[in-house]
Amino acid sequence: MTDVTAGRAEGVRSVQDNYLALVRKKRLYGGITLLIFIMLMLSGFQIANDRNAGGFLEGIPMFFDFPEGVIEEAWEKRGNLPGLLVKYFPALIETVNIAAVSTLVGAFGGIVLSLLSTRGLALWPRAIPLFRRVMDVMRALPEIVIALVLIFVLGGGPVPAMIAIAFHTAGALGKLFSEVAENADLKPVEGLSSVGASWGQKMLLGVIPQVAPNYVSYGLLRFEINIRASAILGFVGAGGIGYELRNSISWGQGKFDEAAAIFILLFGTIVVVDQVSSHFRNRLTKGAAL
Amino acid sequence: MTAASTNINDARIVAERLFSRKRTMAFGALAALIAYLTYIFFAFDIAGLAQRARLDNAVTLASDSWSYKTHVTRDNRFGAIEYAIEGERKGAYPEGRYPAWVTPGEQSTVVDLGNGQIATLLPDNRLTLELPEYGTVEMALVGRDVVTSFGDTPPDWTNISDSRATITLDGARVTFTRSKTELFRYFAGWELFFFTLDSPYNGAGLGTILFGDRVDPERANLAGAWQDFWSNGMWRHADVAWAIFETILMAFLGTFGAAMIALPLAFLAAKNFAPLGAARFAVRRVFDFVRGVDALIWTIILSRAFGPGVMTGTLAILITDTGTFGKIFSEALENVDDKQIEGVASTGANPVQRYRFGVIPQIVPVLLSQVLYFLESNTRSATIIGAITGGGIGLLLTQAIQTQKDWEEVAYYIVLIIIVVMLMDWLSGILRSRLIGRKD
């Protein structure tokens, strides 16, 4: 009897020891990882600070200077504000238009690329890796790179920005779309091929109706992102509200009321589009009709 | 019987109504799309694009991104001849060396411009060109005027005035002005990518460097080659590597810094953790505000305070992503399973232990996967923000584009950016599947 309890206690103890050793080891590894991470962060911030024109600590007090200056001037000239909002409204429309067209064009390109690179649906199954790599490269290229090069060739204006964003969008949406299309039911496609439908017909009638809600949802999300991208590209010379913002800011004091008006327009647009699009996306993913 | 057929009839009518409604909807959507694109066609002035487009710029860009030119320049005052790649001082041939297609002589220097086109630099600022299609052309500086033998009607591939003559040839160009005679010839490739002409390793093959005798008696081959490659003045490999590092640094610090700030705030914004409705509302509005202001405006505000550089870009990413992460994290926290927390609580754990063992293990995989996903997309953002605020590879890229002539460098940077972003994508994918234990 005593032997048995002793043996059991022995067994429990060895299990306990093993368990504790394991926990200690895990803690040690976790601790080392955490330590390395913290050191990376600290030294990273140190390097970032050293390689900046102005230091972090010196900059902190000045952080609010610019917003303060803008708000002060906007408040002094608050009578101008409604007029300025109207003045810059067309530029805002241009920015939204760039985002909308590039989302449409990019989504169309994304649909084609995604169908060409999905197993079971692809027109040329052997070319699937090729189309996937093409999408990877399209996604990896920042819009600003294409925009700057195109501005050199096509001159400033909305078209370079539109092409640049559409190019990136096609790659980004293509990947997401192809993940959706992979889960599509192939029975309608088989049915269509049994009546002799071409590849285009099979995709248009067999696949697209199944995946459309998800595609529209991703497209709306992309539209939100593209409005921001379109404003940024305007800032480097591609027209729209970003361009006006750059002009009014580089003018400095005296045009800050205009900058404030543009800030308000941009902020308002982004918030409104985010809200509206997330409302529709929620409905789409929950299966309700638009 | 009749009841059944009425039912069928009713059903048919309903179905037909549905069909016709769907058809109208489909055609309506298509018509709206076409109308919108037509409006865009005029709003963006696509028709006028053909006039605004600079096709010559496109040609320069396309040819310059994969080729280089070597200049042969004679100073028309002193008669000295210099050879330089891209006409840059850093690409100049050292004294006494010259390209293989140039034959310097006592009196005259013969320059083979390719495709049977031969230029001869003669004393007294004279130049003859032998062109296979056209014949021989003579040019000279007489007094202060540039005189050519083209006569009154020069061909359209020339541009002649008293002070200047420019002749565009097949793969080469000749420019004759009062101060200098400049010939240049195009070649394919990125010349001097590894070593500039003043380096002894220029022209040495990989085999020579790895296994051959010492090229430079002072230094070991590999160390010396690396040193010369790294300090290459034309391609500035060291600067480019730094710029890439800075861009990755911005993305890394911004993403993880934002995650670290957003996590505690997310607890305040999650319904099941924050009992105070007012605080929850306030934190959520802060997240919305920070996201709505957008990276562009943050970048502008920050660069006013901190000046251009890495820190500014880092903070711009950090602030914007704090809003995004806050929203994602608080949603993840609201989906936490209460059973696990209750289980930990039933063992007598205090609140801190309940969070540590009940909540954190549930959300960490979700959060880390999101953070890693953002790390990749922020590498791209860091390039863009760098172009605006001035830091990292984005700055080098905008500088190279602004010169409007270093397109080979632009091409090089673009390739590097693509590689880096794809590497980050791959790395974050690997880490994500490791952490979550599944492939995505």
What pLDDT is attached to residue B439? 44
Q: Looking at CA atoms only, how far is residue B82 from chain A in angstroms?
A: 32
What pLDDT is attached to residue B437? 63
From chain A residues 234-263, the ones with a CB under 8 A of any chain B CB are 235-236, 242, 245, 249, 263
* Model pLDDT for residues A54-102, shown as the tens digit of each residue: 777 777 777 888 888 888 888 888 888 888 888 888 899 999 999 999 9
Better pLDDT: A18 or B5: A18
From chain B residues 28-67, the ones with a CB under 8 A of any chain A CB are 33, 36-37, 40, 43-46, 49, 52-55, 57-58, 61
Q: Looking at CA atoms only, how far is residue B375 from chain A in angstroms?
A: 13
Alpha-carbon dihedral A18, A23, A26, A27, rounded to 10 degrees: -140
Contact call for B418 and A155, based on CB within 8 A: no
What pLDDT is attached to residue A163? 93
Closest residue by Cα to residue B33 from B21, B23, B41: B41
Q: Domain extents for chain B?
A: 1-53, 68-188, 237-436
Integer Cα distance of B199 and B224 in angstroms: 9
From chain A residues 92-131, the ones with a CB under 8 A of any chain B CB are 94, 97, 100-101, 104
* ipTM entry: 0.83
Structure tokens at A256: 């800050």
Give the residue from chain B lying closest to A105, CA to CA. B37
What pLDDT is attached to residue A4? 59
Closest residue by Cα to residue B184 from B102, B73, B96: B73
Smallest Cβ–Cβ distance between A154 and the set B53, B295, B421 belongs to B53
Q: Indicate the average pLDDT of chain A.
A: 86
Integer Cα distance of B38 and A30 in angstroms: 59
The arrangement of secondary structure in B237-436, i.e. its CATH architecture, is: Orthogonal Bundle (1.10)
Q: Which residue has the tokens 């793969």?
A: B171
What pLDDT is attached to residue B438? 52
Smallest Cβ–Cβ distance between B311 and the set A56, A152, A249 belongs to A56
Closest residue by Cα to residue B74 from B27, B37, B111: B111
B391 touching A (Cβ < 8 Å): yes
Integer Cα distance of A146 and B61 in angstroms: 13
**Helix-then-strand count for chain A, H and E:** 12, 0
Q: Looking at CA atoms only, how far is residue B144 from chain A in angstroms?
A: 37
Contact call for A52 and B397, based on CB within 8 A: no
Quick one: B90 exposed, middle or buried, by C-beta within 10 A (0-12, 13-18, 19+)? middle
What pLDDT is attached to residue A287? 59
For residue B145, the cross-strand partners are B142
The answer to whether B413 touches B400, Cβ cutoff 8 Å, is yes
Q: Is B231 helix (H, G, I), strand (E, B) or coil?
A: coil
What pLDDT is attached to residue A290? 47
Which of B61, B296, B393 best tests the A interface by mutation, with the highest count of A CBs <10 A?
Answer: B296
What pLDDT is attached to residue A288? 52
Integer Cα distance of A239 and A226 in angstroms: 15
Contact call for A154 and B394, based on CB within 8 A: no
The edge-to-edge listing of strands for the beta sheet with B102-104 is: B102-104, B109-112, B118-122, B126-131, B135-142, B145-148
DSSP assignment of B81-125 equals: EEEEETT-GGGBPPTT---TTEEE-SS-EEEE-STT-EEEEETTT
Integer Cα distance of B359 and B80 in angstroms: 78
Domains of chain A with CATH codes: 2-60 (no CATH), 67-286 (1.10.3720.10)
Closest residue by Cα to residue A191 from A178, A210, A172: A210
- Does pLDDT of A230 surpass 80? yes
Better pLDDT: B226 or A180: A180
Better pLDDT: A240 or A6: A240
Q: Looking at CA atoms only, how far is residue A242 from chain B in angstroms?
A: 9
Segments of chain B scoring below 50 in pLDDT: 439-440
Contact call for B418 and A232, based on CB within 8 A: no
Contact call for A97 and B253, based on CB within 8 A: no
The edge-to-edge listing of strands for the beta sheet with B164-169 is: B81-85, B67-75, B180-188, B172-177, B164-169, B158-160
| Contact residues for B251 (Cβ-Cβ < 8 A; gap 6+) | B317, B375, B378, B379, B381, B382, B424
Contact call for A144 and B383, based on CB within 8 A: yes
Taking phi over 0 as left and psi of -120 to 50 as alpha, with beta for the rest, B81 belongs to beta
